[in-house]
Structures are given as C-alpha cells and as structure tokens.
Structure 1
Amino acid sequence: MARAVKRKDHPLSMRLPETDIAIIDRAATLRGHSRTDFVREAAVRAAEDILMETAPIRMSPAGFKAFVEVLSQPARPVPEMVELLQRKAPWESRDTKVEK
C-alpha cells in the first residue's frame, strides 16, 4: 500500500514585467544562483529584516537599568575609529591636488 508523502515545498507564483525579470536574472547570474533561488533568498531576507524591526526587545528590570546606565554615560572615543576617520582617502594624496 502506498504511503502519502507530505510535501515540503509550497509553490509561489508571480507575474512580473519583463524588465523586472531581466534585472532579477542578471543579479542571479552574478551571484551564481538560479532565478528561483535568488528570489527565494531575497524574499526571505526582506521578510526577516521586517520581522526583526518589529520584534519587541525583552529584558529584565535589572537588565534595563544596566542598559540605561550605559547609555547615560558620556561618549568615549574609540581609538581605532579616530584613526580611521583621520586617515586620508586614497584619492586625497599630495600628488592629486585640484587647483581652484
């Protein structure tokens, strides 16, 4: 007697303009994915982003107090960030000055 097999995949169908398909296909090719895989990954990533934006953050009263205390402290410079922001960009060398 044959067993019923439960399907794991659920079809999703969309009608898109040819220009949208061309963009999707180009991006999928650049990533080395099929159109289906590319669209699935992009849709899941977008859905996860939205869910994370709306997910409540829960913490204990003691945890919240510690969080507020950290936020209330004066800002401290991060040496690596200071150095990075003071570094000249590659196009800002002495040899490439623009005269006004």
Structure 2
Amino acid sequence: MRDAAINLRALPEQRDLIDHAATLLGKNRSDFMLEAACDKAQSVVLDQVFFRLDADKFRQFSDLLDAPPVRNAGLERLMAVKTPWEVDASPA
C-alpha cells in the first residue's frame, strides 16, 4: 500500500498534458506521474558512476583505457559459434 504523499503544483496546461498522456496509456494521473518520475529517477541514478582514485591509480586506469585491445581467445571461440537462430533450420 502506498502511504507516502508527494505533492506538487503545476500549470493547468501541464496538468492537462499529463492527464491526456495518462489517458492514452489507460492510467490515472498519479500512476502516470509516479511511473514517469521513477523512470527518470532511475535513469539519473544509473548514469551517476563515481569512483575515487589517487593520481597513480588514475594514471594506470587511463593507460588501460588508451591501450589497444588485447586479443581474447575465449571470446573469439565464443563468437565463432553460431547462435541457434543462425543455424540452418531447413528440414533434413
């Protein structure tokens, strides 16, 4: 059960736009706004990646990013195997 209230004020045209969009999706205003706000909040949180490195570790990290890719035999073997949808599906 939802029991935490979130109140906000909007211009009438903003409310009308939200109501119209909610109706198009078969939702009420509250459900539409909560879903939209949570989608945006999750996107913002997932875009924020922060980690701290001292100068030496940062230099090592930068060098790894700038280095050319290293061959990966396991990945090359995996990529050589056809996926089920690539296998010939013609009857025998």
State TM-score, norm by structure 2.
0.51
Q: Residues 58 and 78 from structure 1, CA distance in 2 versus in 1: closer, same or farther, beyond 3 angstroms?
A: farther
Question: Residue 60 of structure 2 aligns with which residue?
Answer: 66
Q: Using the alignment, how far apart are the partners of 1:83 and 1:57 within structure 2?
A: 33
What's the CA shift for 1:74?
4.8
Q: Using the alignment, how far apart are the partners of 1:56 and 1:67 within structure 2?
A: 14
Look up the SS of the partner of 2:40 in the other structure. helix
**Contiguous gaps of at least 5 residues in structure 1:** 1-7, 26-33
**RMSD across aligned positions (CA):** 3.3
Deviation readout 1:4-32 (Å, 9 max, x if unpaired): xxxx74413552262x322374xxxxxxx
Q: Residues 87 and 61 from structure 1, CA distance in 2 versus in 1: closer, same or farther, beyond 3 angstroms?
A: same
State TM-score, norm by structure 1.
0.48
**Contiguous gaps of at least 5 residues in structure 2:** none
Q: Residues 43 and 70 from structure 1, CA distance in 2 versus in 1: closer, same or farther, beyond 3 angstroms?
A: closer
Q: Using the alignment, how far apart are the partners of 1:92 and 1:73 within structure 2?
A: 30
Question: Residue 38 of structure 1 aligns with which residue?
Answer: 35
**Which amino acid counterpart does residue 60 of structure 1 have in structure 2?**
D
**Which amino acid counterpart does residue 23 of structure 1 have in structure 2?**
L
What's the CA shift for 1:64?
1.2
Count residues in correspondence: 76
State which of 73, 76, 84 in structure 1 corresponds to 2:71: 76
**Which amino acid counterpart does residue 32 of structure 2 have in structure 1?**
R
What's the CA shift for 1:42?
0.8
